[in-house]
Chain A
Amino acid sequence: QQQVKQSPQSLIVQKGGISIINCAYENTAFDYFPWYQQFPGKGPALLIAIRPDVSEKKEGRFTISFNKSAKQFSLHIMDSQPGDSATYFCALGAGRRALTFGSGTRLQVQP
């Protein structure tokens, strides 16, 4: 059973544009919602994370929007750059258990 659905599978954005990736989940027990960036051959690196007591969190060009009632959260990358080209994963965390990852989104930012 897929606990988190991530979309789109791939995304092409022009330099300077906004990249938006979405995740939806079912189980309300989750209390930690991070986004990870992964480059080929590297481990995932935390970009930004949010907990369910806030609806939005911004760090630099990266913003998480969280809709608790809809059980959805999204990553917005403002002013996307070619260096942002990578695979992005949303994840779900609960009570110090292992994270459950989304299926990933391959982002390509064209110069």
Chain B
Amino acid sequence: GAVVSQHPSRVICKSGTSVKIECRSLDFQATTMFWYRQFPKQSLMLMATSNEGSKATYEQGVEKDKFLINHASLTLSTLTVTSAHPEDSSFYICSAIVPRQGYGYTFGSGTRLTVV
């Protein structure tokens, strides 16, 4: 249980175009979703926190106009990388809080974005 499905797993796009990444909670309602970015051989860095029905909260240094997050339903959150550039190439991972005794977290399988 508590699965987050993330798509696409890999995407290659041209510089200047936009890419949308989707994360769906399959068997639970995800009121809060987190988006992380991971560069090669580095740790996961939090980009933003999204709550269903409200604006996302971005971490310092993350451009909110470049990384658009939409959390319009309890089962879907999307991250759109707008006007992508090669430096945006990274591994993007979503995560959701799992509503159960106490609390826990589940992660998507990640999206490898390559901007050429």
Among the stretches B11-19, B72-80, B108-116, the one at the interface with A is B108-116
With A43-B93, A98-B49: A93-B105 Cβ-Cβ less than 8 Å: yes
**Chain B neighbourhood of A93, CB < 8 A:** 103, 105
B104 touches A46 (CB 8 A): yes
A51 touches B109 (CB 8 A): no
- Selected from B44, B97, B106, the residue in CB contact (under 8 A) with A96 is B97
Q: Within the assembled complex, what's the spacing in Å between the Cα atoms of A2 and B93?
A: 21
With A41-B110, A42-B109, A44-B107: A98-B46 Cβ-Cβ less than 8 Å: yes
Q: Does B95 have its Cβ within 8 Å of any Cβ on chain A? A: yes
Closest A residue to B44 by beta carbon equals A101
A96 touches B32 (CB 8 A): yes
CB distance from A84 to the nearest CB of B (A): 19
Q: Does A49 have its Cβ within 8 Å of any Cβ on chain B? A: yes
* B contacts with A, residue count (CB < 8 A): 24
A44, A46, A49 interface centre (most CB from chain B within 10 Å): A44
Interface of B is mostly: strand
A49 touches B104 (CB 8 A): yes
Q: Within the assembled complex, what's the spacing in Å between the Cα atoms of A102 and B42?
A: 10
B6 touches A43 (CB 8 A): yes
A89 touches B105 (CB 8 A): no
**Chain B neighbourhood of A106, CB < 8 A:** 41
B44 touches A44 (CB 8 A): yes
A 90-107 contacts with B by CB, 8 A: 93, 96-104, 106
Q: Within the assembled complex, what's the spacing in Å between the Cα atoms of A32 and B101?
A: 13
- Selected from B43, B97, B109, the residue in CB contact (under 8 A) with A103 is B43
Q: Does B102 have its Cβ within 8 Å of any Cβ on chain A? A: yes
CB distance from A94 to the nearest CB of B (A): 10
Q: Does B34 have its Cβ within 8 Å of any Cβ on chain A? A: yes
Q: Within the assembled complex, what's the spacing in Å between the Cα atoms of A89 and B43?
A: 8
**Chain B neighbourhood of A99, CB < 8 A:** 34, 95, 105
Closest A residue to B31 by beta carbon equals A96
B108 touches A43 (CB 8 A): yes
List 5 additional A-B contacts (Cβ < 8 Å) besides A43-B107, A46-B105, A98-B95. Answer: A34-B105, A41-B112, A44-B93, A96-B97, A101-B44
